[in-house]
Each structure stands twice: as structure tokens, then as C-alpha cells.
Chains A and B, each alone.
Chain A
């Protein structure tokens, strides 16, 4: 038996905490539950295929070839927007590394002073003034950061997302700062596509019925019935959703803020992020700068994992599991701490965390990779 140190390079996305799934070696980022997203894809592609198969040949000949051409363009645009919304990073804020989490904890401790034992420490809130409005920044216990203004923690993806709008199961991803404009354009163009297909379905049925009669028309193009049904129900929801988001954009609000009533009711007219001008608000949201992802999913990092090798050969590896970042920040008991954990926390809190670190970090013990994992391995014999 000898101990060897396996140094391997992994992509950073493999070690990201949170409940996202990654594809194409980190290029694609989505939520875990993708079932409804596949349904969305199926409905759009299915309905459009029926339209191209049944209606378009007739309409191209009897009306204009521009009709199917425009439908294709619209369809491609809808798909591009959907895939961009679903596959991109919505603006996830990475969790605080241990040193940063410690630093924040110490600042909080200093600010709170001495809390008598048995009493709850005050809630962790930072007040900032933005455009003469006091905005409260809440502390996220999962990510160990004070959330920036307009950020919120998505419980489905288990990430803090900047300018969090909502988690959309239809696109299989959160909608946040980075992909909100794609989401809006998706709803807008899908509404247009739905109206377009619905309208031309009716035109087609009417035109053909004049020649052949209504029942014969339905027999020749059975897909029409399906398309009309799907479009009819989709139309109302999509047009409504587009209208709602147009309203939000003109006020520079997020769905999250609207639901919570942050800037409505008695706070109406006090949204500090609004430019008080509809055009300016729209321009900022739709034509503003394209923010880069701060996650660096495809960066490489070194990972050291000690392992024992038996003399018979390499040991069997466990299935790779996405490793959650384990932080060593001292926990301060709060209202979320379970009762049985509090005494042990109190004991460990008395030990002051040592700030001095070794030059090379102590080897972590992550789950071992399986041979299928696409990483480079170099085995360094332990002396």
C-alpha cells in the first residue's frame, strides 16, 4: 500500500456549488429540472413543423412566398432567444470564499457588539442609500454574502442571482441581469409567432374552404386543428406575459420586486433604480451593456487529492459528485440554527480563526473522480 497524491486539472464548473447542471464542458448552464423546458421546445418546434408542412405550401402558392419565409425568420429568432435565455448564466453571484466570509463575520460581530447569551443577535442587514432612498441589503446565509441591491437567492438553483427577476421553469433557468433581455425578446417574438401562425391558419382554412368546403379542408390538413388549439391557449398567456414585462421594464422593476411590493402601495414612486422616464428605462434594460459572467465556468483549477493505492492495482473510484464548497467560516448562531447545533457552535466560536495560511493550501478530500471524467491526471508519488 502506498499513498499517492493525484494532481489533476479540472474545469471550475465541476466544483461550483449550487443546483445547476452544466453541459458542453461548462458552456451551457441550466437548472436541474428541465422537463418543462423540453415541453416548451416540443410545443414550439412541433407547432411550427405542422405549420410548415400543412399551411405553408398552400399559402406560398395562393398568397405569397413571403409568408413562409417570414415564418422561418420568426421561428429562428424565437429559438435563438429561447436557447440564449435557457443556456446562459443569469447573473449568478459566486459564494464567498472562506476568507471573505470570515471577514464579513468579523465585521458583523464588531458591529453587533456584545449580545447577551440567550438573546438573539440582531438580523443581518446593511442599509445603503441609493438616490435618496434607503435600501436594505440582506445577508445570505447560504452564500455568506450581503446581497447586492436587487439580487435575490433562488431556492431552486440554490444561487444568489443579480437583478433576480424570477425562476422560469418554461425556459429551465433563472431570469436575471444577464438574460432578462433575451427572455423578454423571447416572450415578445413568441407572441408574434403565435399570432402569426394563428392568423394564417384561419386565413388558410377560410381560403381552402371556399374551394373545397370546410370538412374537406380539415381532412387534408389535420394539423391545422392542433395548431389552432395550441396557438389559442398560448396566445393569451404569452401576450399577457409580454404586456406584464413591458410594464415592468417601463418602470425598471423586476418581477421579484413587483411581487414583494417593494416599490408599490405606500412606496409608490420611490423606486431608486427608475429614471422616471419610460424611454430611458426601456433603453437601459434592453439596450444596456451586456454584462459578463463572473462565474468563469471553463477556467482550469488544480485539485490535489490524496488517495491510497493497493498493491493489486488502482482502487475503484466513487461516482463523481459535484462538490459543494465547504467554508470554514465560524458559524454564529441565529434564528436559522437548529437547536442541537448551538452548543457546539458556541464552543467552536471561542477558538479564534487563524488567519495565517500555508503557502500551499492543505489538500482537500473531495470525492474521487471516475476514469470517465474528462480531466488530465498526473500522478505524483508521495515521498
Chain B
């Protein structure tokens, strides 16, 4: 039986955590490395994780883009002595909400069924993308789970 997001927190126990580090090759913009961690070799397909990380990188690039919209936002805010920020959500905050929704969706669809859980980087200071690896405890409540990797490939 594959996990869903709620099951994972009640029946599974945490084995270890893997941390995907920041990629600073393009400067200080927020980007994560697409290098595949070896600990996840049998847990998830490379392409899926790479796709997740690439999408996140695109979101962050959109948030940090220095262009017409950010200039407008900056100048308008400056003209109002930045008081407008008390009433208005900045572009970055809007994108962060989108990212949070995306991570939730990815967890529900892809990662939880494989016994993994992504943590939003903002909760780790935007330093790492934390992936928690869970294993079924085999408690009486849940149905017996066959090997997670075989289940995921059978899908």
C-alpha cells in the first residue's frame, strides 16, 4: 500500500534526511543543484526529482528577476516611504506562495507515495532543499507495504 501525505506522518518513521545544496555558479540568486543525491537512488526516478528542482529554480528566478516590474514596485514603494508594503504583498511573497503550493502538490502526487517528503526551502533559510526519507513502521493500523521501490515502478 502506497503512502499518502497523512499516512506518512502517522505510520512511517523517519530514516534520514537528504539535503540538496544551493548552486552558486550563477551568483547569489536562489538556485538549487540538480545533482541527484545517491541516497535516493532506489527511492525515486532521477528525472522526477530533476524536474522538481528545475521548476523550483524557475520560480525563484521569476521572483528575483530585476526588470520592469521590480523597478516599478521599487520606485512606487520608495515614493511612499515603503509604507505601501504594509498593505501590499510584494512580488517575491506572491511567488513564495506559489512555490509553497507547488511543493505541497508535488509531495501529495509524487513524493509521499514513495515515502519521501520535501520541505519548503524557506523553512530552512533558503539554504537547502530538505528531503526526508520515511520507512513504514509496519504498524497494525496500516496495510502491509511491499517494497516501496517496487510499488513505485509498478505505477
Contacts and interface: CB of A to CB of B under 8 A. Distances in A.
B81 A149 contact: no
A284 B29 CA distance: 12
Given A290-B85, A291-B92, A294-B125, A357 B28 contact: no
B66 A287 contact: yes
**Chain B, interface residues (CB within 8 Å), range:** 35 or more
Nearest to A358: B13
Interface string A284-322: 101111111011100000000000000000000000000
Interface in B34-75: 63-66, 70-71, 73-75
Contacts of A96: 127
A103 interface: yes
A93 B15 contact: no
Contacts of B22: 148
A357 to B, nearest CB: 5
A78 to B, nearest CB: 9
B93 interface: yes
Nearest to A163: B28
A185 interface: yes
A167 interface: no
A104 B16 CA distance: 14
A290 B16 contact: no
Nearest to A137: B24
Looking at chain B's contact residues, the main secondary structure is mixed
A103 B14 contact: no
A287 B85 CA distance: 14
Nearest to A355: B16
Interface in A22-36: none
B25 interface: yes
Contacts of B14: 356-357, 359
Contact of B70 (A80, A149, A182, A289): A289
Contacts of A104: 19
Nearest to B132: A99
Nearest to A280: B66
A356 B28 CA distance: 34
Interface in A59-108: 76-77, 80-81, 84, 93-94, 96-97, 99-100, 103-104
Interface in B101-155: 122-128, 130
Nearest to B83: A80
B9 to A, nearest CB: 8
B27 A288 contact: no
B5 interface: no
A286 B82 contact: no
A45 interface: no
A199 interface: no
Contacts of A77: 81
A301 to B, nearest CB: 12
Given A84-B82, A163-B28, A287-B71, A145 B127 contact: yes
A39 interface: no
B124 to A, nearest CB: 7
Contact of B25 (A130, A137, A148, A287): A130
B85 to A, nearest CB: 7
Given A77-B81, A288-B74, A128 B122 contact: no
Contact of A128 (B25, B85, B92, B124): B25
Contacts of A355: 15-16
Given A76-B81, A77-B81, A289-B92, A148 B24 contact: yes
Contacts of B15: 355-356
Nearest to B96: A292
A328 B65 CA distance: 38
A273 interface: yes
Contacts of A135: 24
A131 interface: yes
Contacts of A80: 81-83
A284 B74 CA distance: 10
A81 B81 CA distance: 7
Contacts of A286: 74
Nearest to B27: A130
Contacts of B127: 93, 96, 100, 145, 148
A272 interface: yes
Contacts of B91: 289
A245 interface: no
Contacts of A129: 25
- Scoring B25, B27, B65, B85 by chain A CB atoms within 10 A of each residue's CB, the highest score goes to B27
A272 B25 CA distance: 10
B13 A103 contact: no
- 3 nearest A-B residue pairs (beta carbon): A287-B74, A80-B81, A94-B125
Given A77-B81, A97-B124, A290-B85, 18 more contacts: A80-B83, A94-B124, A99-B17, A100-B128, A130-B27, A148-B24, A149-B28, A273-B27, A283-B66, A286-B74, A287-B74, A288-B66, A290-B73, A290-B74, A292-B122, A294-B125, A357-B13, A359-B14
